[in-house]
Amino acid sequence: MNSEMTSAEYIAAVSDIISKRESPPLACVHSYGCQLNFSDGEKIKGMLGKMGYGFTDNPENADFVIFNTCAVRENAEDRVFGNLGFLKHCKEQNPSMIIGLCGCMAGLDHVIQKLEKSYPFVDIVFGTSALDRLPRLLYEKLNGRKKAFDTNEYNMPAEGLEQVRDSSFKASVPIMYGCNNFCTYCIVPYVRGRERSRRPEDIIKEVQGLARDGYKEIMLLGQNVNSYGNDLEEDVTFCGLLNQINAVEGDFIIRFMSSHPKDAGTELIDTMLECEKVERHLHLPVQSGSDDILEKMNRRYTVEKYMETINHARNIVPDFSFTTDIIVGFPNESSEDFEKTLELMKRVKYDNIYSFIYSKRSGTKAALIEDKISDAEKSERMTRLLALQREISTESYKRFIGRKMRVLADAKGKREGWLTGKSSDFIIVEFEGEESLIGQFVDVEVTAAKNWAVTGKII
């Protein structure tokens, strides 16, 4: 065997080694972080399945454990190192266990150094662009190589990788990889490289296949979907792509994330409203309600510019649903800056927010700022922000009472005989129903509202 072998040949070679074992080995693939990572995790499982691995959720039973990691905040990183510590004991019991680490942490030099110094039992490491190199790395490991690392390249991930999808009715479809924006707090551009858009033909082919297989929700993914196509020779934009996907035959809905407010303007809202399959919900991460902080974050929009998009949607659909991401405690965020974020939340009335205390990521520009705000102050701000959001959603969810919603039934609810799902506006809906409805659209009349969900009856 030589280095000219293709990924498919490595898959066949590993599969050959594995087929000689008494029983198929088990792999445990654990993904952390964002949906793009989970989508990568599905591709990793696809390759492992082809190589003859079965799957388990319990790392203690596994022959091959892969942590598909996230580097966006420090606590995600700490959790992975903690879990690796646990695996060390499992490997002591089962020395033939192979341990792999991939995802965003694999793109950080300090992580690689720490792995080499303190976690020598980690066998395989590969970055987000090297997914299809897993078969080669595994082949090398099985053939006695001590360590197989492949981290620092930002290629276009391979097309056509087999996928073991986590759901039979909801599918993620990455449309682009990487990010060009360099928000000053964010590590993503350093670990995922520059923007690379998939060709529209490849995306459409994948969506057609999913629609044929009966998938009901297609989630288009990218760090900033609105700049889709900027790097392609052909003249294609995200709005153009939405139109093309909307025209694919089938009974499915389209969602997408994330959008960047500097690029998500009125045209996006108009396109969303024209495309009947695109749901009426926009996740529009604002990060802060203070223009000063937005500038320090290098976000390249002002609050008023952001509000133009919100107002445009609300002029047409008065309760168009918005959700957002907010960072609390960016270095030296003053209490006035923070109050402006609360003001913005009251103006927009988000249906949900994902809020994070700022986490210093070394290598980013913001990490160089000397921060004078204490952790206690940041926690207190977070508590106030969450309390305000609870008030806002308690009030605004009442608007759904008496309304009919089309809901994709998603999972069993907490109460016996109940199901949960999401409405077009991305609201959690709880209702009584048979388990067999999971994966199907149902019409629900909303009878009551809480601050995080609504409840209703199937019509």
- By CB under 6 A, residue 188 contacts ligand SF4: yes
- By CB under 6 A, residue 287 contacts ligand 5AD: yes
- By CB under 6 A, residue 151 contacts ligand 5AD: no
Which of 285, 289, 331, 421 binds ligand 5AD (CB under 6 A)? It is 285
**DSSP single-letter state for residue 370:** P
d(CA 238, CA 260): 12
Site for ligand 5AD, residues 201 to 260, rule: CB under 6 A: none
Q: Which residue is nearest to ligand 5AD (CB)?
A: 325
Q: How far is the CB of 33 from ligand 5AD (least distance, A)?
A: 9
For the stretch 76-85, contacts whose Cβ atoms lie closer than 8 Å and that sit 24 or more positions apart, written own/partner, are: 76/32, 76/33, 77/105, 77/111, 79/32, 80/32, 80/105, 81/114, 81/119, 83/30, 83/59, 84/119, 84/122
Which of 37, 129, 181, 352 binds ligand SF4 (CB under 6 A)? It is 181
Q: Which is nearer to ligand 5AD, 90 or 357 (CB)?
A: 357
Site for ligand SF4, residues 259 to 318, rule: CB under 6 A: 260
**DSSP single-letter state for residue 398:** G
Q: By CB under 6 A, which span of 43-51, 184-192, 303-311, 341-349 interacts with ligand SF4? A: 184-192
d(CA 25, CA 137): 17
Amino acid at 124: I
Pair 190, 107: CB distance under 8 Å: yes
Q: By CB under 6 A, which span of 134-142, 195-203, 226-234, 351-359 interacts with ligand 5AD? A: 351-359
- By CB under 6 A, residue 224 contacts ligand SF4: yes
For the stretch 304-308, contacts whose Cβ atoms lie closer than 8 Å and that sit 24 or more positions apart, written own/partner, are: 305/261, 305/262, 306/261, 306/344, 307/347, 307/348, 308/265, 308/266
Which of 179, 221, 373, 446 binds ligand SF4 (CB under 6 A)? It is 179
What is residue 286's three-state secondary structure? coil
Which of 143, 159, 182, 194 binds ligand SF4 (CB under 6 A)? It is 182
The token duo for 297 is: 């974050």
Which residue in 106, 44, 99 sits closest to 69, CA to CA? Answer: 106
- By CB under 6 A, residue 227 contacts ligand SF4: no
Residues forming the site for ligand 5AD (CB under 6 A): 72-73, 185-186, 285, 287, 325, 327, 356, 358-359, 361
Binding site for ligand SF4 (CB under 6 A): 179, 181-183, 186, 188-189, 223-224, 260
